[in-house]
Amino acid sequence: SFEKTIDAENENVAREHTLAEFGSRHGLERTQVEISEALRASESRTESGEEGVDA
């Protein structure tokens, strides 16, 4: 499990970016990656205070 902060226009763009980046870095197909939730920065539970959409 991991948390990723992405600056994106909306949740779908953030999910697509995360799937593409994670799959590329780790040699995984999209079907092998599960995104459990995506939150807006204002809803984020990150302690770092970074902005963007978490995916």
* pLDDT recorded at residue 55: 46
Spell out the CATH class of 5-54.
Answer: alpha beta
The H-or-E segment that residue 5 falls in is strand 5-6
Q: Distance (Å, rounded) from C-alpha 24 to C-alpha 46?
A: 24
* pLDDT recorded at residue 38: 87
Q: What residue spans define the domains of the chain?
A: 5-54
* pLDDT recorded at residue 32: 92
SS3 13: helix
* pLDDT recorded at residue 45: 54
1-55 pLDDT, tens per residue? 778 888 999 999 999 999 999 899 999 998 999 999 888 877 655 444 444 444 4
* pLDDT recorded at residue 39: 86
The verdict on pTM exceeding 0.75 is: no
